[in-house]
């Protein structure tokens, strides 16, 4: 990579202060940047690195205090988004996989589209349908009648079980499992757990990204449904018959229990747990480590805590909990004073 800073500024619609003719040879974090690098600053917590960064240029917000003259500034509305735009335009990630490896198995009754690449030991079972321009990396297995849409990218060691459907332009990261059995059991008369057959499937719509080691269970009946544009972080569990609305984002280690339905454009932070058979409205935010035990019917609200409560209420409760030792001491003091008053008044 080597490009004039003026060209980068034009790409992101930024305003230059300093020498725009310098050549940029790399992109780097502010604390690791060296001469020739372009870096960015969008969080106040990284301001401490600005004094000593060796970067030649930096993306900053409008009005940034330009205290150094040895660095060139590009002012943009959102440095983080602008850096992403630069990466996408100048340094798009490449995933080198071409053709069908000789160790891959493709059943004679499977359909594989044009320009699709299959890595080592990939298994494409009977009745599978794979679209055009798909890349499926090593050791991934598609069982009977699974489908993968055009331009999707499936990394190594992914398991897609029978009858499951993956849409167009999806990305599935290593170790993910699509269509494992839902956790369906009921106790028998002798107390032993009897398995309930899970005969549904998983449907993943277009433009979904699924992180490493995510598990999405097949439905007991019907479909577990992941709608268009959903983004799921690593180590998330999606149980049977869950429905995730469009453009939901779910952070790592969250768990969504069976038959829960979540509306569109929700944000679920890390380690959130959601009880089964609930409904959550559109545009709801649930902060980290919260436990959702009841449906959330109002859209656009923020919840926190375990059990989860409206955010401001939860903060008040948390503040009181932190002060419990002081409250206990105060109560002991008041009890002693009341006792003394009773003794003095003879009550």
Active site residues: 240
Q: Which of these, 251, 181, 248, 184, lies nearest to 216 by C-alpha position?
A: 181
For 307, the token pair is: 């059990």
d(CA 137, CA 118): 6
Alpha helices in the chain (DSSP H): 5-12, 79-90, 311-322, 324-345
Contact 21, 8 (CB under 8 A): no
d(CA 256, CA 275): 7
Secondary structure element (H or E) that encloses residue 118, with its range = strand 117-118
d(CA 74, CA 197): 59
Contact 10, 75 (CB under 8 A): no
Contact 98, 115 (CB under 8 A): no
For 196, the token pair is: 């309930």
């Amino acid at each position: 990579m080597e490009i004039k800073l003026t060209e980068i500024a034009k790409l992101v619609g930024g305003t230059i202060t300093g020498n725009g003719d310098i050549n940029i040879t790399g992109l780097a974090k502010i604390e690791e940047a060296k001469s020739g690098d372009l870096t960015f600053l969008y969080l106040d917590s990284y301001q401490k690195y600005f004094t000593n960064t060796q970067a030649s240029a930096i993306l900053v917000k409008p009005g940034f205090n330009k205290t150094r003259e040895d660095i060139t500034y590009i002012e943009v509305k959102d440095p983080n988004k602008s850096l992403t735009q630069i990466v996408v335009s100048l340094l798009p990630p490449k995933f080198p996989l071409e053709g069908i490896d000789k160790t891959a198995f493709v059943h004679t009754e499977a359909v594989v589209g044009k320009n699709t690449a299959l890595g080592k030991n990939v298994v494409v079972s009977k009745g599978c349908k794979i679209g055009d321009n798909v890349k499926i990396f090593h050791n991934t297995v598609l069982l009977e009648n699974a489908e993968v849409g055009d331009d999707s990218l499936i990394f190594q060691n992914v398991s897609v079980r029978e009858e499951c459907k993956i849409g167009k332009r999806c990305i599935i990261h290593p170790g993910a499992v699509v269509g494992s059995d839902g956790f369906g059991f009921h106790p028998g008369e002798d107390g032993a757990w009897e398995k309930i057959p899970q005969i549904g499937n998983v449907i993943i719509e277009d433009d979904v990204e699924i992180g490493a080691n995510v598990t999405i269970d097949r439905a007991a009946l019907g479909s577990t449904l992941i709608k268009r544009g959903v983004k799921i972080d690593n180590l998330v569990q999606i149980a049977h018959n869950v429905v995730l609305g469009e453009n939901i984002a779910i952070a790592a280690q969250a768990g969504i229990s069976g038959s829960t339905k979540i509306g569109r454009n929700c944000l679920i932070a890390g380690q959130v747990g959601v009880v089964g058979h609930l409904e959550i409205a559109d545009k709801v935010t649930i902060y980290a480590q919260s436990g959702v035990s009841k449906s959330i019917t109002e859209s656009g609200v923020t919840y926190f805590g375990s059990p989860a409560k409206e955010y401001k209420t939860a903060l008040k409760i948390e503040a009181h909990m932190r002060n419990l030792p002081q409250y206990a001491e105060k109560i002991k003091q008041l009890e002693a004073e009341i006792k003394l008053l009773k003794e003095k008044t003879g009550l």
